[in-house]
A and B are shown apart, each in its own frame.
Chain A
């Protein structure tokens, strides 16, 4: 197992190289991209000419494109992602906290989605073709068809009229004056709306997968055997069937995470949540190129690590799987 993880981590090297190349190439496609700094002077007059000259030298903007790429790569290896022009701080400061916020939102949505979808999926499968099953299946279809920006708008509308939840941001105005415990509660309180907006989509998909998997497992012979030897129905379902039905869902974990990271970009923008998706949109609009490249890179790293976690989890829950 350790050897498998080590090999996966080794393979990360070439993959990350490819990711940096695409992040860089995507920006290079921009018209007039040969000279970001010249256009940046027009956009941000506050940047001094000496800074520009220094950056020019640091990133080798007078060099041919492939040398520029290598230089950028070299500075990344030293964890130097460049400077954000809009905020005038190192990119790593910006994307670090933003990525944590996005990760927080994705994880809460994931946990909430699993906590809701699995019991509903089990109920649906056990009561196949009942009225509730039909209603749940229809609801699941609607859930996977609602774009996250639309669900965020609808929730915003509901929250405005009910006055139950904060509408925007991750913290209240008086956040800094709160006690440690008060801060945690405040963040949790602010997380409810974005979590629900983002989680709805996942619940629909997961519920349907859980239902299908469990139905497949319930048809297996070992379930019949368990019933034949007099095991109670509750025990058959929860001890014998559900455990095996959940395994394929673990594989979905990585896939889900990718969808959540993308979906989070919308929710963050509608609900004013300070995450990576909102940062990359702002940066893209302002042509704050190092922030864009850094966010792309970090988003991919999050996704890759999520996939790796899913594979390790799968080996952990399913003893049949042995990575050699």
Chain B
């Protein structure tokens, strides 16, 4: 009896929840929670963006740090057992010892252990560009170096540079979406709403843009950027170049959607109520494309990240001493360097991981918005 009552109460609660979650976004979120892989990917991305925001705290060394005597040093080994077979409570590293100066072969200097300290004081910085701080996640005392992923040709810590490089690699996707999507939405909205000459003009422009192999055009436009720009300005300019090339595809699809939406009653109603055209487009028509836009944005970002790393890889994106994953990977371009110092490939793994996460998440979101995939 009591059990039946609880079951009834549970069913009632479920019904109430179902009634409450009615907006498409809420429905999609409920659906998305079933895709474990998409959720894991979302977690990976949140972690990556958190590390990006706290770059100075996470990175063991500052961006401009270099130890010229330790170039092309392999990843340092983290140990718990020392050379005498004794266990240590703290993980420790050995200092580097140059074994062969000609081939740049390093070995550990076993004479002394250096404990890894956590929450250690180091170079000063401003957390989130505001809070002055000097605490770092981890560090070791010199002369040992905490090159967890090895060092590059100038003796710079690869891990630190990857952490700082994530600022460019992770931000550019969002930046481009923030610029491209308003342009694509407005252009597509105008073309679909007005039709005739405006539609023709915009769509012909889109066709011409689509006729170029995208990367050739990116390459040409990026090369036009003056070399003297500061890295922040350059980042914005590159984002601008991507947007210039990329708004067309979105505009074309939005136009198609708008063509069908503008015939619906609520749009006719808004026009009959005497709203001006821009307001009808922006406030009444475009919101109906939300679910498509969210999916498209999630799937646009990895493409942009790929494009930026490609440009930087070829030397046309971010410039030294700035850093991005593509630029770091460019160091591994020659066969000799690549085969002798394979740890320089790690930035490529970071790119793959982030793009993979975005693709999984985007796929999950697309399914979540798709009513055909929706189960009750």
- Interface segment out of the listed A27-35, A36-44, A234-242: A27-35
Residue-by-residue, is A1-34 near B (CB-CB < 8 Å gives 1, otherwise 0)? 0000000000000110011011100110111000
Chain B nearest Cβ from A313, distance in angstroms: 19
Q: Give the chain A neighbours of B306 by CB distance below 8 A.
A: 147
A161 CA / B342 CA spacing, docked (Å): 12
A12 CA / B355 CA spacing, docked (Å): 36
A303 touches B211 (CB 8 A): yes
- We find that the number of chain A residues with CB closer than 8 angstroms to chain B is 50
A284 touches B219 (CB 8 A): yes
Q: Give the chain B neighbours of A147 by CB distance below 8 A.
A: 306, 309-310, 348, 351-352, 355
Decide yes or no whether B360 CB sits under 8 A from chain A.
yes
A14 touches B204 (CB 8 A): yes
- We find that the number of chain B residues with CB closer than 8 angstroms to chain A is 42
Q: Give the chain A neighbours of B204 by CB distance below 8 A.
A: 14, 18
A contacts with B: majority SS:
helix
A284 CA / B317 CA spacing, docked (Å): 13
B216 touches A299 (CB 8 A): yes
A145 CA / B355 CA spacing, docked (Å): 6
A160 touches B348 (CB 8 A): no
Chain A nearest Cβ from B78, distance in angstroms: 25
A142 CA / B310 CA spacing, docked (Å): 18
Decide yes or no whether B235 CB sits under 8 A from chain A.
no
- Interface segment out of the listed A49-57, A62-70, A79-87, A258-266: A258-266
Near B by CB (< 8 A), chain A positions 292-307 give 292, 295-296, 299-300, 302-304
- Interface segment out of the listed B43-51, B178-186, B330-338: B330-338
A270 CA / B221 CA spacing, docked (Å): 21
B224 in complex: contacting residue of A19, A21, A27, A281, CB < 8 Å: A27
B313 touches A167 (CB 8 A): no
Chain B nearest Cβ from A213, distance in angstroms: 15
Chain A nearest Cβ from B331, distance in angstroms: 11
A304 touches B211 (CB 8 A): yes
B345 in complex: contacting residue of A154, A167, A304, CB < 8 Å: A154
Decide yes or no whether B356 CB sits under 8 A from chain A.
yes
B313 touches A299 (CB 8 A): no
B213 in complex: contacting residue of A14, A30, A261, CB < 8 Å: A261
Near B by CB (< 8 A), chain A positions 265-307 give 265-266, 269-270, 277, 280-281, 284-285, 287, 292, 295-296, 299-300, 302-304
Interface of A toward B, CB cutoff 8 Å? 14-15, 18-19, 21-23, 26-27, 29-31, 141-142, 144-147, 149-150, 153-154, 156-157, 160-161, 167-168, 258, 261-263, 265-266, 269-270, 277, 280-281, 284-285, 287, 292, 295-296, 299-300, 302-304
Interface of B toward A, CB cutoff 8 Å? 204-205, 207-209, 211-217, 219-221, 223-224, 226, 302, 306, 309-310, 313-316, 329, 332-333, 335, 338-339, 342, 345, 348, 351-352, 355-356, 359-360, 363
